[in-house]
A and B are shown apart, each in its own frame.
Chain A
């Protein structure tokens, strides 16, 4: 499967724990985007990364959230000290750059108990 791979598909955490969401882009893609979708809402941009660089994090909450895309390995979205309001579907997308369309993974559904 050469598509965008996200894991885990489902993640359950208790309030105060940490959540780590992983995303492996499509082969040949070096641009990674993270989006969050709340119920009955559209996808909201969080952060855009290229290898080892955060390009745009204007959609990411200033506290508790961080993202990285290391030289080797998948992109990671980390949420520290999770709260109930963090419950959502988190989608990763990748593109080859320019005006090429973004292709999405199947998301991680995060539930906070």
Chain B
């Protein structure tokens, strides 16, 4: 049973446009959410996080939105750049600090020049 779901395996976006990656979760105990970016043959790189006390967090071109009632979060990248092409993983953890992360299966983003 998948507790974190990324329903779009892939996404293609034109350079300069907005990329929107979506993530849904089922466990009501999750209250801390992270996005990681992964290139082939490398480990995931932390991008941005959000706790459940917020509904938005922004860092440069990256913004994460959290809708707790819908158990949904999204990552917006604007403007998208070719170097953003990678697999993006959504991850969640429960309210106790240091708990392990639960990952979605990832969305492969291709930014086309």
> Chain A interface (Cβ within 8 Å of chain B)?
4, 6, 31, 33, 35, 40-45, 48, 55-56, 59, 91, 93, 95, 97-99, 101-107
Contact = CB atoms under 8 A, between A and B. Distances in A.
B22 interface: no
Contacts of A45: 100-102
Q: How large is the interface on B (under 10, 10 to 19, 20 to 34, 35 or more residues)?
A: 20 to 34
B98 A55 contact: yes
Nearest to A105: B43
Contacts, number: 59
A103 B42 CA distance: 12
7 contacts: A43-B103, A45-B100, A45-B101, A48-B100, A93-B101, A97-B98, A104-B43
B98 A98 contact: yes
Which of B42, B46, B104 has the most chain A CB atoms closer than 10 A to its own CB? Answer: B46
